[in-house]
Structure 1
Amino acid sequence: MASSHLEHYEYLLPPSWKTQVTAWLQEDAPSFDYGGFVVGEDQREAFLLGKGFQTAVLAGKPFFTEVFEQLGCTVEWHLEEGENFDPVKHVATVRGKARQILLGERVALNILARCSGIATKSKRVKDLARQAGYKNIIAGTRKTTPGFRLVEKYGMLVGGIDGHRHDLSSMIMLKDNHIWSSGSITNAIKQARKVGGFSLLLEVEVQSEAEADEAIDAGADIIMLDNIEGNELVGVVRRLREKWAGKRKFLFESSGNITEKNLHERAINEIDILSTSVVHQSVQHIDFSLKIQKPKNL
C-alpha cells in the first residue's frame, strides 16, 4: 500500500539542503563544545515534546532528522509531517551519544519551531478563507529570512498553502520600481518577454484599474492588485473581467494588508490568488523541548 503523501514533502528538497544543515551546525559550534565535554559519550535517549498552548501542525521533520543524523544519532518519529497535535505531545525520540544529542538540540529545535509555526499559521489562514467561502489559492510571499527561505517555504507547503515564487528566477514579477525604471508597464513587459521565454509566467504589480488595464493589454499573465481593497477591489475585478472576456487569459492576485481579521473581506472568488506575508512574518513559533531521559539504572 502506498504511504500517505504527508510523508513525502522531503522529496521536494534540492540536493543542496543538507549542506545548509551542516552550515547551521558549524555556526552553533564554531570551536570548542564545553557542555559536550561535561556530559561525555554515554548512550542516551531524549524525548521531543510538543508544548505551548495551542493545537499545532508538525512541520520540518527532514531538517530535524538531518541535524541528528549528521551527529551520528537516530530519530524515531511518532507523528507524520503535516499532522496536528495538541500539547504536551511526545512527538519523537532521539537516540545517540549524550554530547551529540546536546550538540544538535538547539539547532534542531529552532528549525522545527519556526517551520511548524509557519505551517500552523498557514493552515489557520487557509481554513479561515475556506470558512469565508473562498475557493481559490492562498499563497505566501518572498518576504522570507535570508538563508532560511527553504525551511519557511517548506512550512507553507506543509501547512497547505501555495509557496508563491521561491526566488527571482521562479517567475517574472514586475513591481513598481521595475515599471518606473522602464518608463511604463508596457515597456517593462516587452523587455521581460524578450528574455523570459515561453516557460515563465509574468506577473505585474499595479496600483489602479488603469494600470491593470495596461498590464492586461500588454500580455501579463497575472495582475497583482496591490493594496486595493473593499468595494473598489470588487469593482475593478468585475469591470476588467467583463472588458477582456474572450480576449485575454489572466489571473487576478490581491496582496497587501491581509490579516486574519480582514481576510473575509478580501476572500472573494473573483480573485484567483490571495498572497500574504502574515503566514510567515512575525509568526509565533511552536514550543518544543528535547528532554534526555534518566537511565533506569541510575
Structure 2
Amino acid sequence: MSKHQYEHLLPHSWTTQVTAWLAEDTPSFDWGGFVVGDGERTAHLNAKASGILAGVPFFNEVFKQLECTVQWHYEEGQYIDVKKQGGEKAKVVVATVKGSVRKLLLGERVALNTLARCSGIATASAAFLDKARKTGYKGIVAGTRKTTPGFRLVEKYGMLVGGVDMHRNDLSSMVMLKDNHIWATGSITNAIEKARSVCGFSQKIDVEVQSEEEAREAILAGADVIMLDNMNGDKLIECARKLKQDLHVSSTSAGKDAKTFLIESSGGIDLDNVGGGGHVDNAIDIISTSSIHQSTKHVDFSLKIDPSS
C-alpha cells in the first residue's frame, strides 16, 4: 500500500515476531473463541483519533497467520483526519477484515496494539520534523536506540513512515563511544583508536563529547560524528559553528588539521523546544531525539465486528 514500500526493508525473519506475539497473548485456552465459534464474519478497523497510518505490514501479518483477509481503505503514511471527517467522536473506517470470528478476535488486540504504537511514532516523528523544517533547519532529524526490547523493529519502522532517520538500529550498526567508554579507556583518543583498530573503514564512529575541547580531540583522532551531548542555546550553536569553521574540510579557513565530520546535537530535544531554545542551527548536521518514540501518544484504533455480516 505504501508508495515507499517500506515493508521490503523488513528482514526475512520478522514474521516470527508476529508468531511470538500471538503465542504470548494466548498461551493456553482461548475461552472467548469457544464462545463465538468459527462462523465467517466481517470486522471494521476504525480510527478513533487523527494521525498517520503506520504498521500495515504487522497488522496484515497478524491476520494472515490467522487465515483472515485485510482490505485497506487508506495507504500507509497517509494522515487520517478523524475530526475533519466527523467531529470529536467520529470514527473513520480504515480497513475491513474478514475471516473466522474466533480468529478475528484472537488477533484483535495484538494487531491493534502494534498499529496504534507504530502510528503514534510515525505521527510524532512527522510533527517533530515539520516543526524543525519550519525553523529553516535543513539537516537530519533522527530517532534513537532508546526503543522497547522486542519491539524495536516496529518502532524504527514507525520513524521511517513518519519521515525521520532511524539513527543506528543496534549496537552493531555504528560505533558509538559515550562517556562510559571514554572513562573506561582513559581518553577520547584511546577509545577512538581502539575502536578503529577492529571496526575498520566500513563503520562510522560517533563520539559523545561534553565540550568544544573534547570535540576537537575527537575530530583530530578520526571520529566521523561528534555528538554535542546536552548542549543547548548559544553554547551549542557557537561550538558547532566554530568546529565547522576551524576544522571541517569544506571550510575555506580550515587549516592542515581539516577533517570530514558531522555534528550531532542530542539530549533533551523535544517538540516543545525544537522550534527554539537554541537546539536548531544548520551548522548542526543531525538532531537526535527519543521524544518521538518514548512516551509517545498512541493513535487509537478499534476493531468492531459488523453485526449484519
Q: CA–CA distance in 1 between the matches of 2:114 and 2:12?
A: 18
Residue of structure 2 in register with 1:248 after alignment:
259
Asked if 1:36 corresponds to 2:33, the answer is yes
Cross-structure match for 2:85: none
Which of residues 281, 287, 294 in structure 1 aligns to 2:307?
Answer: 294
Q: CA deviation at 1:295?
A: 2.6
Structure 2 counterpart of 1:171, one-letter code:
M
In the alignment, structure 1 segments of 5+ residues that lack a partner are none
Partners in 2 of 1:65 and 1:242 — Cα distance?
Answer: 50
Structure 1 residue aligned with 2:56: 61
Equivalent runs, 1:83-162 vs 2, <5 Å: 83-87=78-82, 88-162=91-165
Structure 1 residue 260 corresponds to structure 2 residue 271: yes
Supply the distance in 2 between the matched residues of 1:242 and 1:228 (Cα, whole angstroms). Answer: 19
- 1:276 aligns with 289
**1:13 corresponds to 2:10:** yes
CA deviation after TM superposition for structure 1 residue 241, in Å: 1.4
Shift of 1:234: 1.2
Hey, what's the Cα distance between the residues in 2 that align with 1:245 and 1:270? 11
Report deviation, 1:107.
0.3
Distance 2:280 2:160 in 1: 20
Contact 2:209/2:227 (8 A) holds in 1: yes
- Residue 259 of structure 1 and its aligned partner are, at CA, apart by 1.4
Displacement of 1:4: 6.1
1:245 Cα offset (Å):
3.4
Asked whether 1:224 is paired with 2:234, we answer no
- The letter for the 2-side match of 1:281 is Q
Cα drift, residue 86 of structure 1: 1.6
Give the stretch that moved more between structures: 64-73 or 239-248.
Answer: 239-248
RMSD: 1.0
Percent of paired sites with the same residue: 63
Q: Which residue of 2 is the match for residue 175 of structure 1?
A: 178
Deviations 1:2-26 (A, max 9, x none): x8633x1100100111000000000
TM-score, normalised with respect to structure 1: 0.96
Kept in 1, the 8 Å contact 2:147–2:155? The answer is yes
In structure 2, the residue matched to 1:238 is 241
Corresponding position of 1:198: 201
Give 1:215 shift.
0.2
Partners of 1:136 and 1:293 in 2: CA distance: 47
Distance 1:60 1:264 in 2: 28
Residues 206-225 of structure 1 deviation map (CA, whole Å, 9 limit, x = unaligned) = 01111001000100000000
TM-score by length of 2: 0.93
What CA distance in whole angstroms lies between the structure 2 residues aligned with 1:86 and 1:261? Answer: 22
Could you list the structure 1 runs, at least 4 aligned residues long, displaced by more than 3 angstroms after superposition. none
Q: What is the rounded CA distance, in whole Å, between the counterparts of 1:276 and 1:222 in structure 2?
A: 16
Q: Quick one: which amino acid aligns to residue 3 of structure 2?
A: H
Pairwise CA distance, 1:240: 1.3
Closer/same/farther in 2, CA of residues 120 and 229 from structure 1, 3 Å limit: same
